[in-house]
Amino acid sequence: MLPGLRTKVGQEFGRIDGMKPAAPPYLRAALRHLRGSDPILADLIRQVGPYRMVRRPERFQALVRAIIFQQLAGRAAQAIYDRFVALFPGVRFPSPRQVIEAEAGAMRRAGLSRQKLLYIRDLARHVADGEINFHRFARMDDEAIIQHLTRVRGIGRWTAEMFLMFNLGRPDVFPVDDLGVRNAIHRAYHFERPPTPREMREIGERWRPFRSVAVWYLWQSVRLILPDASGRPPQAARKKPR
């Protein structure tokens, strides 16, 4: 993963916390399709190795966490998140109703900005009032869920897409606004400049209906040493003459 993106994805949604990656039921079909439809991606799959994305069971908790971690360094965000959870002793994580009823000053003293406090309470109200019902998501398509979630203040399309991938395990999510995905495509497909969302969608069409798996491999691919457009390894990777 790209270092900056690794902070966002790894800490907001993809934390393992002792959980072991479990292969989704569609993985074998996805790898067969991706390898057969795109030789560049097939090579990245070979170099990166086994698919190891962890699917998280959380719903409300994951979205609260995502809001807290927005635009913050990892350690600072984690400290605020831990203090927020500690406001609700006796439970692993507070319910939406508990968040609504919690004293605002205590949450502010835990480190939440005024804006993030408003965002978290808006999310809690949507869930408590039934406007967002996570049990219905299984019967909804990806775009409907994104539209549902982005009604909440502080939840944008990228956050909703990460939720679809990491928490719902949806197989065909393609976040074209994600900087890490854009940079990985730029690098692997030898674009002279970062690709536009339209160009990314054109490339991603060949990966349907398993674009989530392709995205995970693209994130991982940036740690690889790839050849340049001429087929030669990067200058930094070439052996110096003795």
Q: What is the domain class of 3-55+172-221 according to CATH? A: mainly alpha
Q: How far apart are CA 22 and CA 56, in angstroms?
A: 10
40-44, 183-187, 228-232: which range is least confident on average? 228-232
With b meaning 16 or more CB within 10 Å and e meaning fewer, what string describes 3-26? eebbbbbebbbbbeeeeeeeebeb
Residue 111's alpha-carbon distances to 115, 120, 153, 212, in angstroms, are: 11, 13, 19, 34
The one catalytic residue in 38, 142, 172, 178 is 178
Residue 178 bears catalytic tag: yes
Decide if pLDDT at 149 tops 80.
yes
pLDDT tens by residue, 44-81:
999 999 999 888 899 999 999 999 999 888 899 999 99
The CATH T-level fold of domain 60-166 is Endonuclease III; domain 1 (1.10.340)
**pLDDT top residue among 20 and 201:** 201
Give the pLDDT score at 91. 95
With beta carbons less than 8 A apart as the criterion, state whether 162 and 175 touch: yes
Residues of the chain with CATH 1.10.1670.40: 3-55+172-221
Q: pTM score, two decimals?
A: 0.84
pLDDT tens by residue, 8-27:
454 455 444 556 677 889 99
Residues of the chain with CATH 1.10.340.30: 60-166
**pLDDT top residue among 6 and 168:** 168
pLDDT tens by residue, 97-130:
999 999 999 999 999 999 999 999 999 999 999 9
